């Protein structure tokens, strides 16, 4: 079964015809070419596919696409400002070694973004808790937590 879905994607109203078995991850990557959304495990375990739906981080690999109808979705691409300027949190990951291979980075940043939008200036413990569903096989997490904290001038 197919259905026409309308939703707000990175601040723009869009619509797409989607098959009922599709997950949000597939729709974003294959129908909107938003390849910043990564597929790691495909089973809701690694967080690489994290995007914001109505401001809440979700694993898009297990989020049924039909459920986005009428909602707002933000991907890593949606954080870019005028002239493709990086968001401060993206700049902080670059400046503080929060990125190595980069595969986990979009998911890490989207989970962090949700936290920063909610609390403004988090503690290290809050950052670690917010990122507990995001796995990184490269950095050892220390630089990632520091990047999030430094992006808002919080104590590391």
Which residues would be at the binding site for ligand FES (CB under 6 A)?
39-42, 44-49, 59, 61, 99-104, 136-139
Could you tell me the smallest distance in angstroms from the CB atom of residue 81 to ligand FES?
23
Closer residue to ligand FES (CB): 126 or 139: 139
Closer residue to ligand FES (CB): 64 or 81: 64
Whether residue 108 contacts residue 134, with contact meaning beta carbons closer than 8 Å, is answered with: yes
- Residue 45 CA to residue 148 CA, distance in Å, equals 21
Could you tell me the smallest distance in angstroms from the CB atom of residue 146 to ligand FES?
14
Closer residue to ligand FES (CB): 61 or 145: 61
């Amino acid at each position: 079964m197919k259905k026409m879905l309308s939703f707000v994607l990175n601040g723009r109203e869009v619509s797409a015809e989607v098959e009922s078995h599709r997950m949000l991850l597939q729709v974003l990557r294959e129908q909107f070419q938003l390849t910043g959304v990564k597929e790691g495990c495909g089973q809701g375990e690694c967080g690489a596919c994290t995007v914001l739906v109505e401001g809440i981080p979700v694993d898009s690999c297990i989020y049924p696409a039909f459920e986005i109808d009428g909602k707002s979705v933000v991907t890593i691409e949606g954080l870019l400002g005028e002239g493709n300027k990086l968001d401060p949190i993206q700049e902080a990951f670059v400046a503080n070694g929060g990125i190595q291979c980069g595969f986990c980075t979009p998911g890490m940043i989207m989970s962090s973004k949700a936290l920063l939008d909610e609390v403004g200036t988090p503690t290290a413990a809050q950052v670690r808790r917010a990122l507990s569903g995001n796995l990184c096989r490269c950095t050892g997490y220390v630089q990632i937590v520091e990047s999030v904290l430094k992006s808002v001038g919080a104590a590391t």
